[in-house]
């Protein structure tokens, strides 16, 4: 793949993403101009960039042209910088590479070899010798531990990811009213890490209405449960504070007469604070914020076929695919659910 940004228009007969086994299960859009209506969950377009190229940028202009042919005008000035700054920062790109499938597989192989060697050397201390049965037991133990580790990785993939999904909150908040949700996935082509930015059609007004009613009901009958659930939806922000600001202004006697250049060892202090993702507000406002927060997570699960199946649907046209308000109700606001956010 060349370093130029690429686009895979929804509905075009382009190459299918290899990391998306459930692509065929999605409602892929017909080419614009065929007079068909858009459906909730329909992929409008996918932008792809090579994560190993630097500098890189999504070809958002081309995506906007593609969306216009569907009759969707998105506010470029409101979401462009939000989407790019959310996903293209160096630390986010490194995170995507280190969490890619080949890296996890390589880690699992190293883990297996180390565990096997450790168990084998331990077994020698107990004089089990190198009998084939002993070696078989060691191998079985190492395999089961490695499989457990890989299952943990797999489960982790189904959680909302603060490093990618939740970073799209602000962009999705801007796009929500234009019936578009963004999601991000990554794949590997050859030796290259590729980031995919998905534009998916969703008219969320029915979901907003359902969640508003649900939140209003919880405020009336289960306020403590609602507070408890929402209190777990936060991110930790680190903000820089200058050392002089942190220590307070110097007294006039101690202040130098001449301005001195900043000392190189004076680094800004980092101050951590908790930022509530869904603050207390009117039920409709909280419903929109919940959909913006979980929009990226929902789209990632949708395009990778990781959404729970067979639960029926409320506001999508497919009978098998749950809509965003169902996912939020089941995983965030429900009474029997457990906190699932990966922090
Ligand atoms: Zn819904």
Output the CA 73–ligand 1 centroid distance in Å.
23
Close Cβ partners of 307 (under 8 Å, ≥ 6 residues apart): 298, 301, 321, 322, 327
Output the CA 330–ligand 1 centroid distance in Å.
12
Output the CA 149–ligand 1 centroid distance in Å.
34
Tokens representing 280 are 């207390």
60 with 17: CB under 8 angstroms?
no
C-alpha distances (whole Å) from 240 to each of 79, 91, 245, 272, 273 are: 25, 17, 11, 9, 11
Output the CA 287–ligand 1 centroid distance in Å.
11
Q: Taking the model in full, what pTM does it have?
A: 0.74
Output the CA 333–ligand 1 centroid distance in Å.
14
Output the CA 126–ligand 1 centroid distance in Å.
60
Q: How confident is the model at residue 58 (pLDDT cuts 50, 70, 90)?
A: confident
Spell out which residues have Cβ within 5 A of ligand 1, the ion: 207, 314-315, 323, 325
Please give the average per-residue pLDDT across 59-77, as a whole number. Answer: 86
Output the CA 271–ligand 1 centroid distance in Å.
38
Output the CA 166–ligand 1 centroid distance in Å.
19
Question: Taking Cα atoms as reference points, which of 111, 106, 138, 110 lies closest to residue 122?
Answer: 138
Q: How many Å apart are CA 183 and CA 86, to the nearest integer? A: 12
Output the CA 61–ligand 1 centroid distance in Å.
30
pLDDT for residue 127: 64
Please give the average per-residue pLDDT across 39-64, as a whole number. Answer: 84
pLDDT for residue 199: 94
* 46 pLDDT higher than 60: yes
Q: How many Å apart are CA 205 and CA 196, to the nearest integer? A: 26
3-class secondary structure, 250: coil
Summarize pLDDT for 247-299 with one digit per residue, the tens. Answer: 544 444 454 555 555 555 566 677 787 888 898 899 999 999 999 999 999 99
Output the CA 279–ligand 1 centroid distance in Å.
21
* 145 pLDDT higher than 50: yes
* 25 pLDDT higher than 60: no
Q: How many Å apart are CA 117 and CA 127, to the nearest integer? A: 15
* 225 pLDDT higher than 50: yes
Summarize pLDDT for 151-169 with one digit per residue, the tens. Answer: 888 777 777 777 788 889 9
Please report which residue ranges of 158-204 form alpha helices under DSSP H: 169-175
Output the CA 174–ligand 1 centroid distance in Å.
19
Residue pointed to by tokens 């991000």: 184
3-class secondary structure, 253: coil
Half-sphere exposure (Cβ direction) of 324: Cα atoms closer than 13 Å:
33
Question: Taking Cα atoms as reference points, which of 266, 295, 290 lies closest to residue 278?
Answer: 290
Output the CA 111–ligand 1 centroid distance in Å.
42
User: What rounded mean pLDDT belongs to the chain?
Assistant: 78
Output the CA 286–ligand 1 centroid distance in Å.
15
Output the CA 313–ligand 1 centroid distance in Å.
8
Output the CA 27–ligand 1 centroid distance in Å.
17
* 26 pLDDT higher than 70: no
Output the CA 297–ligand 1 centroid distance in Å.
15
* 227 pLDDT higher than 50: yes
Q: How many Å apart are CA 331 and CA 106, to the nearest integer? A: 32
pLDDT for residue 254: 52
Output the CA 312–ligand 1 centroid distance in Å.
11
Question: Taking Cα atoms as reference points, which of 234, 236, 231, 235 lies closest to residue 333?
Answer: 231
Q: How many Å apart are CA 286 and CA 80, to the nearest integer? A: 24
Q: How confident is the model at residue 335 (pLDDT cuts 50, 70, 90)?
A: low
Which bin fits 124, alpha (ψ -120 to 50), beta or left (φ > 0)? Answer: alpha
Output the CA 209–ligand 1 centroid distance in Å.
8
Q: What are phi and psi of 11, to 5 degrees?
A: 95, -20
pLDDT for residue 2: 55
Output the CA 201–ligand 1 centroid distance in Å.
13
Close Cβ partners of 77 (under 8 Å, ≥ 6 residues apart): none
pLDDT for residue 22: 36
Q: Is the dihedral of CA 295, 298, 300, 302 positive or negative?
A: negative
* 19 pLDDT higher than 50: no
Output the CA 283–ligand 1 centroid distance in Å.
15
Output the CA 211–ligand 1 centroid distance in Å.
8
pLDDT for residue 263: 56
Please give the average per-residue pLDDT across 211-232, as a whole number. Answer: 91
């Amino acid at each position: 793949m060349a370093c130029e940004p690429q686009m895979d228009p929804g509905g075009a007969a382009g190459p299918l993403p290899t990391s998306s086994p459930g692509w065929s299960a999605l409602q892929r859009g017909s080419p614009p101009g065929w007079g068909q209506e858009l459906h909730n969950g329909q992929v409008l377009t996918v932008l792809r960039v090579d994560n190993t190229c630097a500098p890189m940028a999504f070809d958002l202009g081309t995506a906007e042209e593609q969306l216009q042919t569907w009759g969707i005008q998105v506010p470029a000035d409101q979401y462009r910088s939000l989407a790019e700054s959310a996903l293209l920062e160096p630390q986010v790109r490194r995170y995507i590479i280190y969490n890619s499938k080949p890296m996890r597989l390589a880690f699992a192989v190293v883990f297996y070899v180390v565990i096997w060697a450790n168990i084998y050397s331990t077994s020698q201390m107990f004089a089990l010798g190198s009998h084939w049965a002993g070696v078989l037991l060691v191998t079985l133990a190492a395999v089961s531990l490695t499989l457990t580790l890989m299952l943990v990785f797999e489960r982790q993939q189904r959680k909302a990811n603060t490093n990618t999904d939740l970073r799209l909150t602000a962009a999705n908040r801007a796009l929500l009213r234009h019936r578009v949700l963004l999601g991000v996935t990554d794949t590997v082509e050859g030796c290259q890490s590729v980031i995919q930015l998905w534009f998916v059609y969703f008219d969320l007004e029915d979901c907003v209405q359902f969640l508003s009613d649900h939140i209003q009901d919880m405020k009336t009958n289960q306020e403590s449960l609602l507070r408890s659930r929402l209190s777990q939806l936060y991110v930790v922000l680190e903000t820089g504070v200058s050392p002089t600001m942190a220590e307070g202004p110097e007294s006039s006697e101690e202040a130098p007469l001449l301005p001195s250049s900043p000392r190189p060892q004076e680094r800004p202090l980092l101050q951590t604070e908790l930022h509530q993702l869904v603050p207390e507000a009117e039920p409709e406002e909280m419903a929109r914020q919940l959909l913006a927060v979980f929009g990226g997570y929902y789209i990632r699960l949708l395009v990778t076929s990781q959404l729970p199946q067979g639960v029926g649907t409320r506001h999508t046209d497919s009978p098998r695919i749950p809509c965003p308000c169902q996912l939020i109700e089941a995983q965030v606001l429900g009474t029997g659910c457990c906190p699932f956010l990966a922090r």
